Amino acid sequence: MTTVQQALAQGIQRLTQTPPISAQDQNQGGAGPRPGDLLPRDHFDSLDAQLLLSHVLHVERSTLYGYPERELTPAQEQHYQALIERRAQGEPVAYLTGHKEFYGLDFIVDRRVLIPRPETELLVETALLVCRQKIAAGSAPIVADIGTGSGAIPIALAVNEPRLPYLYATDISSDALAVATLNCQRHHLEQRVRLLQGDLIAPLPEPVDVLTANLPYVGTNEIALLTPDVYDYEPHLALFSGPDGLDLIERFLKDVARSNVLKAEAVVLLEIGFQQRERLSQVVQTLWPRARLDVYKDYAGWDRVLQVNM
Ligand SMILES: C[S@@+](CC[C@H](N)C(=O)[O-])C[C@H]1O[C@@H](n2cnc3c(N)ncnc32)[C@H](O)[C@@H]1O
């Protein structure tokens, strides 16, 4: 019989034998510097083994250390070894467990959606501030999230700000929207988060006060920099956007400028790649010369969120 302690040690040992595969704490594509670079490799192998074992045993991660002598049943041991092996081949932990924590909430994820990244929490944080300013000024802002994937952004906003009456969330991928539907059900938001399929802002039925978007921003020029667990497993529709990663965000900004989708004094919030600030600032200034532009850095110190106040 194998104990929890032994299972963890075996799992870590197996994962440490593999070449680096992890996209832990990386931005969307894994390209560019990331906070994970500051931590030793075995930190992530250990975390992965813990997450997989707690998934198999249906317990919190902290419980593993409370009961290190607990014995696994043969079926649990087999399940855990199979997951460790798939992880060693590169499959992301979130796809193996079917879950990812984002902004303190649990999200269902599978290979139909990008795994929500910690960096994107900055976009949620910024959007919440903007929404609360608008609420304090007496309005009930309408929010739309474009390219919603698992629905992580609008669901985090809706849960954390109950005064938002309803939010729109669009995606071109019906597969992604199927996962977003499950997440809306999980968080009891079927009525408040309205999922719409289509290209960028095309499906929106009315003008909005706040527009958020974490669209694909990895360049096909950057493919060589991607770690295997990103390139081999995550949907390419959610990752790539032209040679330098800017095609979709630029088209989004131009579509917005040409449309009537923004109410007066609306705010647009975009997650961007760490090298995209300059080019996107130029695009914004050309489209909206009178708008105010702010860029916020993520915890690793890289430009990550672009805010445009109309
Ligand atoms: C980087 S993922 C972000 C997912 C989610 N917002 C998040 O932060 O985890 C980008 C999403 O944009 C969607 N997408 C790609 N092209 C699109 C388009 N032309 N119109 C709408 N959504 C699009 C993809 O299907 C994917 O779900």
Percent of the chain predicted with pLDDT > 70: 92
Tell me the pLDDT band of 99, cut-offs 50, 70 and 90.
very high
Please tell me the predicted confidence (pLDDT) of residue 21: 58
Tokens for 261, please give them.
Answer: 């989708």
Q: Give the pLDDT of residue 28.
A: 61
138 contacts: CB under 8 Å, gap ≥ 6: none
Mutational test site, ligand 1, from 26, 103, 114, max ligand atoms within 8 Å of CB:
114
Q: Is 178 helix (H, G, I), strand (E, B) or coil?
A: helix
In a mutational test of the pocket of ligand 1, which residue from 181, 215, 247 has the highest number of ligand atoms less than 8 Å from its CB? 215
Pocket test for ligand 1, best of 125, 172, 175 (most atoms within 8 A of CB): 172
Q: Roughly what angle, to the nearest 10 degrees, separates helices 74-88 and 4-16?
A: 20
The number of angstroms, rounded, from the C-alpha of 192 to the middle of its chain's C-alpha atoms is: 20
pLDDT band at 37 (very low <50, low <70, confident <90, very high): very low
Give the H or E element holding residue 301: none
CA distance 274 to 193: 30
Here the tokens at position 160 are 């954390």
- CB contact burial 195-211 (16+ within 10 A = b; e otherwise): bbeeebbebbeeebbbb
Rounded to an integer, the average pLDDT of 224-239 is: 90
Tell me the CA–centroid distance for residue 27 and ligand 1, in Å: 14
Residue count of the chain, please give it: 310
Confidence band for 278, pLDDT divided at 50, 70 and 90: very high
Atom in ligand 1 nearest the alpha carbon of residue 113? 27
Whether the CB of 238 sits within 6 Å of ligand 1: yes
Give φ, ψ of 295 to 5 degrees. -125, 130
* 172 Cβ inside 6 Å of ligand 1: yes
HSE-up of 150 (CA within 13 Å, CB side)? 28
For the chain, list the domains and their CATH numbers: 4-97 (1.10.8.10), 120-309 (3.40.50.150)
- Mean pLDDT, residues 122-130 taken together: 98
152 close to ligand 1 (CB < 6 Angstrom): yes
- The answer on pLDDT for 100 being more than 50 is yes
Q: Is the CB of 84 under 6 A from ligand 1?
A: no
Atom of ligand 1 nearest to the CA of 120: 8
Q: Is the pLDDT of residue 53 over 90?
A: yes
Per-residue pLDDT tens digits for 73-90: 999 999 999 999 999 999
Tell me, using a 6 A CB cutoff, whether residue 26 lines ligand 1: no
196 CA to middle of ligand 1, Å? 12
- 28 in contact with ligand 1, CB cutoff 6 A: yes
- Position 27 pLDDT exceeds 70: no
pLDDT at 24: 47
The first and second tokens of residue 99, run together, are: 């879950």
Is the Cβ atom of 108 under 6 angstroms away from ligand 1?
Answer: no
Q: What is the residue-averaged pLDDT of the chain?
A: 92
Ligand 1: atom nearest CA of 102 is 9
